Amino acid sequence: MKKLSIRFRVGFDLIIETENKITDSNLLRFVKINPKKTNEYRAAPHNFEKIVKILKQKQISIKTDILEDSSLSQEYSTRMKLKLNLRPYQEQAIAEFINNSGKGIVILPTAAGKTIIGFKIIEKLKQKTLIIVPTKNLLHQWIDHLTKYTSLSKDMIGQVGDNVKEIKEITVTTYDSARLNLNSFRKIFNLIILDEAHHAAAKETIKVLEGLPAKNRLGLTATPSRSDKGEELLFKFIGDPIIVAKISDLVETGYVAKYQLKTLKVPLTEEERILYDKNMRVYRGYLRKRKIQIRSPKDYERYLIFRVNQDVEAKEALDAHRIARNIVYSSQSKLDKIEELLEKHSSDKMIIFSEFNDMVYSIGRKHLIPVITHETKSLEREDILNKFSLGEYNKIVTGRVLDEGWDCGSVNVGVIVSGTGQARQFIQRLGRILRPKEGEATLYELVTPGTLETWTVKRRKKSEVF
């Protein structure tokens, strides 16, 4: 076999056509014969680089148009120059990424400058780049920061998402749009940057990593950990974790704000406690009766959510558990404590986080604070965030939609209404107050003693790395 061709099938696979049968054992690790066609093989697109490397070692001629013109043009290379000086840990992260053949997941806390690392890697590798983000807000933020911190003009940056489809040498898209436009991307981009990379392991988006042939893969996240243990897929399809600094390191060097964490114990009222205990007895009674142990979110789905249509008692237990959670996460005592904190920090810039939209809206109505949830329209959200950044508002209350990637400026107080069991979510919310500033930032976490909330917080703290 002296030559072969590699192309994309309409759909997903790579198609490899040869003159003779493939017998090389290394190559057969990545390709599978098509039993319906002589000398035709199929392979997963993410193995393209490995296949090409083996073929070149065998001095086999390759005919393909995949990534044949993946280098940035002269104009892009000239203007893709970072205007900022790198911090030592950013330089270390970039060096480790390049030494690892252009693969890896940079794990740094929010506010540590992960985006800047991405920009510098584009500058160094000079490869056409696809930047994938989880939200429309982040899509526009990356585009704005590219024009702010490099000499690229806005019309040089592609956008696929938010009702726009313009592919350029450097393009920003969302995970959902990347999945829908995979065929348009896969011949072009040899560097993919995955912001909030933990999203890439979701069932709906893992095919993006599998379906792109890009050799260079950079993940950016505060923590890759997932409740479904999907981080192993991230390491497989993006690369090994690159950890160059913890939050405590960045505080010591002044790269993020000094901060303190305050856990405030907020007990239930007598009436709430009676109702909470009643519902938890129903829930725990069902688990004992069925001899079920809930150790993970998957267990919760398997033994409760998936059983509700076949088991009346499972539905009763699920409903009781939800009522108990709502009592804890939205208690009157927490509303009172929030009022106390608002008075204490009346002149401070504050973000209040709650797991439940009902609580978000209650706080917003009672204290006339702007609200942002997943239901908030894009224009309204942009207006609120802009006024908050400019200081026209100094308080906002939100659900999970602002957990990730929003550059909120010099916020110095955060309040987590509901104690969270997810280390990633906690670190992201902490990150909202870590932008460098004068003085010390404070993050309050309201926890109800003697409830399931106490257990979830203890579970999270076991995995915290500060």
**pLDDT tens-place string over residues 434-465:** 777 778 889 999 999 999 888 777 766 655 55
Q: How many CB atoms lie within 10 A of CB 256?
A: 26
Which residues, in sequence order, are CB contacts of 59 under 8 Å at separation 6+? Answer: none
CA distance 66 to 112: 35
Q: What integer pLDDT is reported at residue 158 of this predicted model? A: 98
Q: In sequence order, which ranges of 126-269 are alpha helices (DSSP H)?
A: 136-149, 175-180, 182-185, 206-211, 231-237, 247-252
State the pairing for strand pair 3-8/14-18.
antiparallel
Q: In sequence order, which ranges of 238-377 are alpha helices (DSSP H)?
A: 247-252, 270-290, 297-303, 312-329, 332-344, 357-367
Q: What integer pLDDT is reported at residue 421 of this predicted model? A: 63
CA distance 125 to 74: 13
CA distance 271 to 273: 5
Residue with tokens 């002589």: 38
Q: 258-267+331-463 architecture in CATH?
A: 3-Layer(aba) Sandwich (3.40)
Q: Which amino acid is residue 217, in one-letter code?
A: R
Eight-class DSSP state of 23: -
Q: What integer pLDDT is reported at residue 133 of this predicted model? A: 96
CA dihedral (136, 138, 144, 146) in degrees, to 10, reads -120
Which portions of the chain are predicted below pLDDT 70?
1, 10-11, 227-229, 401-409, 419-424, 459-466
Q: What is the DSSP string of 357-425?
A: HHHHHHHHHHHT--EE-TTS-HHHHHHHHHHHHHTS--EEEESSTTSSS----S--EEEESS--S-HHH
Largest CA distance in the chain: 81
Fold category of 74-244 in CATH: Rossmann fold (3.40.50)
Residue with tokens 């995949």: 66
- State whether CATH 3.40.1440.10 applies to domain 3-63: no
